[in-house]
Chains A and B, each alone.
Chain A
Amino acid sequence: SQTIHQWPATLVQPVGSPLSLECTVEGTSNPNLYWYRQAAGRGLQLLFYSIGIDQISSEVPQNLSASRPQDRQFILSSKKLLLSDSGFYLCAWSVGGNGELFFGSGTQLSVL
């Protein structure tokens, strides 16, 4: 069966520090991968999506970047965090032709 792993579960970082959140998927090949962010009390905002290795599309301009060095690995990064980067970050995957999105457990990021 397919599983998605996302870590860490919580993270507290000072403003200006770097960020690296990792997501891996098991049990499937060539998934579409997504990073979403959810600010407190708000809906989910799509940040990045990827249809293959090194193929990344950004949905909104921001202080973050994403990379996909392996088929089932998706990394969200920042060189210098801003206060506005605080939020609940969710990784998700889907298989082309099937609309169901499978989400990870999320990372609660607090930038202080």
Chain B
Amino acid sequence: DAKTTQPNSMESNEEEPVHLPCNHSTISGTDYIHWYRQLPSQGPEYVIHGLTSNVNNRMASLAIAEDRKSSTLILHRATLRDAAVYYCILRDLNAGGTSYGKLTFGQGTILTVHP
């Protein structure tokens, strides 16, 4: 799988927007960009994913650069409950159904939200 690079940590204030960057310069044409987050002492949870176009859901927005070599997860209004480790992961859909679930997690970005 192609590698992603994220900052080790970021800080934000409550109710402010947060932009979490991810670099993936070796991304292939069939790699989807997935974001998961892990709250303390819990398993990771899915946040959002996309291929080329920007994506929005109830949790966040995903902005994908035109060349797809980077992306940004956007939390529009951070809350204290958004404090977590955020993982940016690439998955190749052409790898097949069985390997599609084999997500490779990096170190992620530790997001701290201040009240």
Stretch of A13-21, A64-72, A77-85, A103-111 that contacts chain B: A103-111
Q: CA A32 – CA B104 in complex, angstroms?
A: 16
Does B68 lie at the interface of the complex (its beta carbon under 8 Å from any beta carbon of A)?
A: no
Total residues of chain B contacting the partner, CB 8 A: 24
Q: Chain A contact residues: over half helix, strand or loop, or mixed?
A: strand
B97 proximal to A (CB < 8 A) = yes
The residue on B at minimum CB distance from A45 is: B105
CB-based contact A100/B46 at 8 Å = yes
**CB of B13 within 8 A of chain A?**
no
| Chain B interface (Cβ < 8 Å from any Cβ of A) | 32, 34, 36, 41-46, 49, 87, 91, 93, 97-98, 100-108
- Chain A residues packing against B (C-beta within 8 Å): 32, 34, 36, 42-46, 49, 51, 59, 88, 90, 92-94, 96-106, 108
Cα distance, A94 to B97, chains bound together (Å) = 10
Which residues of chain B are within 8 angstroms of A108 by Cβ–Cβ distance? 41
Residue contact A32 to B45, C-beta cutoff 8 Å:
no
